[in-house]
Homo-oligomer: A and B are copies of this chain.
Amino acid sequence: MNLTKRIKRPTLHEELVERLRNLVVEDALKPGEKVPEKDLCESFGVSRTPLREALKVLASEGLVVLQANRGARVAEVTPEELEKTFPVIAMLEQLAGELACKNLSDAGIASIEKRHEAMVKAFHARDIKSYFQANQDIHAALIEGARNDILESHHRLLAARVRRARFMVNLSDERWAQAIQEHEQMMDKLRERDADGLGRLMKMHMMNKYAAHIKALSDKPEHSDQS
């Protein structure tokens, strides 16, 4: 009798890390906002000890910042941070593309292809929600297809931080169309299993996304103090 399956009862603090991370990434806790231990403890029904452990982890991930004797604040998403984060993500995506071409099975590629079609359909239907989900799925599948958990975990960390930026701007229709085109090209390379090609495209895709963010930010009138 070999029960390889382990009974998984996550510890409180692991659970909390996950839930808190979601609150931050999904913008339920807004950047700059202070994270009141007491309130969260009550709403989660736990004591401060595991919650504080979770906050330490979130801090090491860069999602919150701790100030001694002043508690935790949700980390801001600044243009400077984006400027520094995107190039790093772009490099990781490049590597992911290269490795995915080598390590994905034909079935894996077919699965991505299906999601790609769903994404294109969502684009034509202007269904932002579905588009966003499909897009995220595709990228996640490519990263996972690289079969490199170190790469995956670091990518996830950075992606979480950057994903919060989507609440700062709304992407233009032009950028949306361009992104679809880039994805088409990526699919071509993936089908051909052109590792270098896909890597280059994924890196470029990410830097173009960054450029679009920058542009959207500069176009945004808000915060321009001269009225």
Contacts and interface: CB of A to CB of B under 8 A. Distances in A.
A200 to B, nearest CB: 13
A87 B91 contact: no
Interface residues of A, number: 34
A133 to B, nearest CB: 26
A84 B151 contact: yes
B95 A88 contact: yes
Interface string A57-85: 10111100010100000000000010011
Interface of A: 9-11, 13, 49, 52-54, 56-57, 59-62, 66, 68, 81, 84-85, 87-88, 91-92, 94-95, 99, 148-151, 153-154, 157-158
17 contacts: A13-B56, A52-B53, A54-B56, A57-B59, A57-B60, A60-B61, A62-B153, A84-B151, A87-B151, A88-B92, A88-B148, A88-B150, A88-B151, A91-B92, A91-B94, A150-B158, A154-B158
